[in-house]
């Protein structure tokens, strides 16, 4: 098929070239889908065709060996086709019910040397699916925490909820390793957010040689940076910048523009937990997440304080929410004061800010908060 509006062959091929036969044949004709069991879905077409999907947990960063194994499974069971979901789950699709059990058995039989599952089946319906996350220490320049490590620790702690659909509703967990949030944690039931607490360090000796000073100044959203002349220890006067620390919100934008303004700091960096956000408009309007734990230090490699706080929230939600109620709806129904009590989280003055934007990650609007 000719590639419409494409004048070069640069970039990936058109996705329509990769459809499995049954998907191509039934495009626009699907009538409904059901979740048959955790991790297994069926989509039904008006032509009578069915597609069975087996969903497995994947990782956002994969080795080529692992990807080769995924391709082998797709070749063996699915005519070479598979898809990745936006949450990095791997979906293997087959066109008849009798192909589902052999596929599931094959996936379950594949294990790492230590015995853990390589392709855990689950991640559907009223449970926890894979965590949307960012780059972390692997390859971004501004992270305040790691992404892969925090996500692995959290998914291990919540793994039972990945394999079952026994929560009141979906519970979406997201992770972003700095507040620029390319993980979109601001609308998640539970969000893990890396947070710097110190302004950039200034390497005056190299700053003018490595950076465009006007670019660094312009990068700051709070206008905290201005050009300055600085005298080095050896008496040389150099062009550099000055940062008004009390205006800094530790976003790292300046470091993006200027490698002589790093923020990473062992004591300053750590994790904020947020809760109660969602994009769905079911029961109530979409909501932003609110900060519920102001700071936790980075506790590599397994982040125990973070996973403990997350487990407490998930358990309290699981025990207290009504069917179909998302975490934020439940917290609003019982009252956020009660939320802190049943989740065994401390409410501190750090959770109240004076950010002026209504309804944006702030307790300010809750002027009747009873603590």
Site for ligand SF4, rule CB under 6 A: 134-135, 140, 142-143, 176-178, 180-183, 199-200, 219-220, 222, 224-225, 243, 248-254
Nearer Cβ to ligand SF4, position 120 or 200? 200
Q: Does residue 298 contact residue 325 with C-beta atoms inside 8 Å?
A: no
- Contacts (Cβ under 8 Å, ≥6 apart) of 359: 287, 288, 365
Peptide bond into 301 cis (omega under 30): yes
CB of 221 to ligand SF4, least distance (A): 6
Tell me, rounded to whole angstroms, the distance of Cα 172 from its chain centroid. Answer: 9
Q: What is the length of the chain?
A: 371
Nearer Cβ to ligand SF4, position 165 or 178? 178
Distance between CA atoms of residues 149 and 333, nearest Å = 34
Nearer Cβ to ligand SF4, position 44 or 59? 59
Nearer Cβ to ligand SF4, position 133 or 287? 133
CB of 181 to ligand SF4, least distance (A): 6
Distance between CA atoms of residues 292 and 350, nearest Å = 10
Nearer Cβ to ligand SF4, position 288 or 339? 288
Distance between CA atoms of residues 223 and 230, nearest Å = 19
Conformational region of residue 79, where left means phi above 0, alpha means psi within -120 to 50, and beta covers everything else: left
HSE-CB for 146 with a 13 A CA cutoff: 18
Residue ranges in the chain assigned as alpha helix (H): 21-25, 64-77, 100-109, 148-157, 159-163, 204-210, 213-219, 253-257, 304-320, 327-334, 336-342
Kindly state the greatest CA–CA separation across the chain.
82
Query: In 58-68, which positions are buried (b, 16+ CB within 10 angstroms) versus exposed (e)?
Result: bebeeeeeeee
CB of 195 to ligand SF4, least distance (A): 11
CB of 193 to ligand SF4, least distance (A): 8
Tokens of 8: 């070069």
CB of 269 to ligand SF4, least distance (A): 11
Nearer Cβ to ligand SF4, position 222 or 348? 222
Nearer Cβ to ligand SF4, position 141 or 350? 141
CB of 205 to ligand SF4, least distance (A): 19
Nearer Cβ to ligand SF4, position 26 or 188? 188
- Contacts (Cβ under 8 Å, ≥6 apart) of 344: 312, 316
CB of 274 to ligand SF4, least distance (A): 14
CB of 136 to ligand SF4, least distance (A): 6
Residue ranges in 158-280 assigned as alpha helix (H): 159-163, 204-210, 213-219, 253-257
Helices 304-320 + 148-157 axis angle, to 10: 40
Tokens of 163: 């394999």
Of 289, 279, 295, the C-alpha closest to 350 is 295
CB of 172 to ligand SF4, least distance (A): 17
CB of 354 to ligand SF4, least distance (A): 17
Nearer Cβ to ligand SF4, position 96 or 222? 222
Nearer Cβ to ligand SF4, position 116 or 357? 357
């Amino acid at each position: 098929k000719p590639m419409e509006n494409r004048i070069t062959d640069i970039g990936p091929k058109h996705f329509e070239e990769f459809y499995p036969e049954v998907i191509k044949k039934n495009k626009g004709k699907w009538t409904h889908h059901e979740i048959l069991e955790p991790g297994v879905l069926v989509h039904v077409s008006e032509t009578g065709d069915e597609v069975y999907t087996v969903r497995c947990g994947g990782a956002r960063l994969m080795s080529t060996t692992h990807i080769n194994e995924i391709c082998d499974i797709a070749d063996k069971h699915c005519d070479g086709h598979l898809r990745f979901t936006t949450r990095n789950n791997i979906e293997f699709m087959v066109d008849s019910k009798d192909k589902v059990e052999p596929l599931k058995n094959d996936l379950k039989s594949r294990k790492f040397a230590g015995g853990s599952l390589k392709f855990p089946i689950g991640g559907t319906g009223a449970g926890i699916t894979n965590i949307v996350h960012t780059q972390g220490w692997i390859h971004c320049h501004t992270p305040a925490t790691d992404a892969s490590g925090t996500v692995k620790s959290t998914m291990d702690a919540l793994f039972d909820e990945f394999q079952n659909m026994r929560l009141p509703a979906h519970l979406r967990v997201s992770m972003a390793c700095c507040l620029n949030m390319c993980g979109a944690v601001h609308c998640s039931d539970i969000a893990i957010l890396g947070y710097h607490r110190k302004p950039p360090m200034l390497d005056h000796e190299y700053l003018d040689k490595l950076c465009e000073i006007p670019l660094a100044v312009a990068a700051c959203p709070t206008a905290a940076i201005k050009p300055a002349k600085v005298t080095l220890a050896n008496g040389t006067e150099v062009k550099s910048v000055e940062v008004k620390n009390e205006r800094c919100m530790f976003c790292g934008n300046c470091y993006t523009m200027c490698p002589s303004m790093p923020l990473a700091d062992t004591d300053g960096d750590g994790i904020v937990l947020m809760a109660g956000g969602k994009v769905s408009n079911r029961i109530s309007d979409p909501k932003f997440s609110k900060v519920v734990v102001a700071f936790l230090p980075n506790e590599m490699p397994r982040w125990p304080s973070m996973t403990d706080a997350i487990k407490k929230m998930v358990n309290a939600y699981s025990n207290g929410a009504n069917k179909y109620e998302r975490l934020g709806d439940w917290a609003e129904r019982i009252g956020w004061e009660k939320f802190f009590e049943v989740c065994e989280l401390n409410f501190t003055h750090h959770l109240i800010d004076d950010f002026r934007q209504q309804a944006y990650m702030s307790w300010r609007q809750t002027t009747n908060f009873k603590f």
